[in-house]
Amino acid sequence: MSWGTVVVSPHFDDAVLSAAGLLARREGSAVIVTVLGGAPGEAPSAWDRLCGFASAEEASRERRAEDARACEILGVDQVVLDNPDVPAARLPMDDLEAFLTEYVTPSTRVLVPMGIGNADHEAVRDRALDVLEKVGSLERWAYADLPYAAAVREWGSPAAGRALEAGPAARALAERYRLGARTSPRLEGEAWALKWRAALAYASQIAPLACDHGEFLAMPGPLQHELVWVLDG
């Protein structure tokens, strides 16, 4: 199997919240690869309990099913890696290396998280980029992590890219690459409805995310906007 676009998602929902509009406009086949797709351990995490899960096994099973529904809505394939949902810096993520090595060619467009607002996103980003350099990937992109990226007041405006590039995640990437920011058109009409339906597929996450990030599903609102950077060099 080969895909024209591969989106690396640290957790279930990260890729959809951050890049569903881009995926909807893509040409060719695409896959979302969730890296921390396994249960965190025998007991549910604090986040799992907030989402209403009674066990870690239930959380992993139901989140995988939610992700499958979101992928079906967007018409993309689903790959879930079995790394436990624990701090990613502790993990070797060898299965991510194996996947990218097998399926990425120099012309495959690969999107990784910028790493804004979440240490797990940074660790997954760095591991993925190390592998992509080994395999000679020429189409490396980074997406603004939503809902975290929307914390800058410029979000949704032409100045959002510059505002985020002043932050630590972008500065870390700028040490390795030249950053070429590209913003997508604001999602409206059917494009917005498609992303909204995909986001709602992650039903267990909606209430806790709203507690932390306010009206992130509002229309108009932050999820209407997406931002990616081309990583050159």
Q: For residue range 4-24, what is the model confidence (pLDDT) as tens digits?
A: 999 999 999 999 999 999 999
Q: Report the first-to-last Cα separation within the chain, whole angstroms.
A: 28
Give pLDDT tens digits for 50-64.
Answer: 889 898 889 889 999
41: left (phi over 0), alpha (psi -120 to 50) or beta: left
Return the sign of the alpha-carbon dihedral for residues 168, 173, 177, 182: negative
- Whole-angstrom Cα distance, residue 217 to residue 117? 18
The answer to whether residue 93 scores a pLDDT higher than 90 is yes
Beta carbons of 105 and 2 less than 8 angstroms apart: yes
What are the tens digits of pLDDT across the range 97-144?
Answer: 999 999 999 999 999 999 999 999 999 999 999 999 999 999 999 999
DSSP states of 50-110: HTT-SSHHHHHHHHHHHHHHHHHHHT-EEEE-B-BSS-GGG---HHHHHHHHHH--TT-EE
85: pLDDT strictly greater than 90: no
Answer yes or no: is pLDDT of 212 > 90: no
CATH number for the domain that contains residue 43: 3.40.50.10320
pLDDT level of residue 30 (50, 70, 90 thresholds): very high
- The rounded Cα 18 to chain-centroid distance in angstroms is 6
The four Cα atoms 74, 97, 142, 107 give a dihedral, to 10 degrees, of -80
Range of the domain at 75: 5-232
How confident is the model over 129-187, as pLDDT tens digits?
999 999 999 999 999 999 999 999 999 999 999 999 999 999 999 999 999 988 878 99
| Count: domains in the chain | 1
pLDDT confidence of residue 209 = 87
pTM: predicted TM-score of the whole model, two decimal places: 0.95
Indicate the SS3 state at residue 9.
Answer: strand
**Average pLDDT over the chain, rounded to whole?**
93
State residue 79's pLDDT score.
98
The answer to whether the CB of 5 falls within 8 A of the CB of 108 is yes
